[in-house]
Amino acid sequence: MAPAGDRDGYWGSTTSTLDWCEENYTVTWYIAEFWNTVSNLIMIIPPLFGAIQSVKDGLEKRYIASYLALTVVGMGSWCFHMTLKYEMQLLDELPMIYSCCIFVYCMFECFKMKNSVNYHLLFTLVLFSLIVTIVYLKVKEPVFHQVMYGMLVFTLVLRSIYIVTWVYPWLRGLGYTSLGIFLLGFLFWNIDNIFCDSLRNFRKKVPPIIGVTTQFHAWWHILTGLGSYLHILFSLYTRTLYLRYRPKVKFLFGIWPVILLEPLRKH
């Protein structure tokens, strides 16, 4: 790795309204923020397999959409951090809003009849997404996006707490693990923003392999990607329990969690 410091690269000058703490084009000429880019793989590959498994299990389309939406967020974030172009920034940030709206819909519809559609909630979430999109395109203020995204996440947190407190207390482990990992990622996101100058100076003084561990925005991707994936599992577990399946969390290769479903119980 070259000495710390922003450089010019393949994608030209930065046009995004945000440029994160990772030094630009220090690993390769073709990727602006290398570690912030490749860390998105956790949001791209596992949800794809989750979507495929959901299709095989005949699950409702909303859960297939949840997995695919997380993949789209990961792909958008990959493009944004690779190029630092404004158009790619939108491809990252707006799908974050859309995916959270899908998560909200799933969480508030988990105790309804199978394949039911709540058109009122659907309309509200679509309208919210449209308003956020139009306003954000006009004002181009990242704080606005962050506040809107935070509102959706807060709604998911409240709903999750309700479920593990009053409905399925035995899901506390999965629900709180998802939340805890996501919040740890949020902590790293803030550290990266607040102490950027100190982090950059530290990287100049240590071997590259140690400096990489201080790329906290990349850790934000990894932790929130895992937290979001676990949230989908939590939502899916809640839903399939209500539908009288026997869901179980298994670990592929002993490390990666997936949900396996047993046949529907007979009434």
Binding residues for Zn(2+): 81, 217, 221
Residue with tokens 């990666």: 256
Q: What are phi and psi of 258, to 5 degrees?
A: -140, 160
Identify the CA nearest to 222 among candidates 90, 36, 47, 91.
36
Q: CB under 8 Å to 267, separation ≥6 — which residues?
A: 244
Identify the CA nearest to 100 among candidates 162, 180, 154, 40.
154
- The C-alpha R_g of the chain, in whole angstroms, comes to 20
Q: How far is CA 182 from CA 156, 188, 226, in A?
A: 12, 10, 8
Cα distance from N-terminal residue to C-terminal residue, the chain: 62
Binding residues for Ca(2+): 19-20, 22, 24, 33
Q: CB under 8 Å to 29, separation ≥6 — which residues?
A: 9, 10
Binding residues: 19-20, 22, 24, 33, 81, 217, 221
d(CA 226, CA 224): 5
d(CA 51, CA 53): 5
Map residue 260 onto helix, strand or coil.
strand
The CA angle 86-100-123, to the nearest 5 degrees, is 105
d(CA 25, CA 84): 11
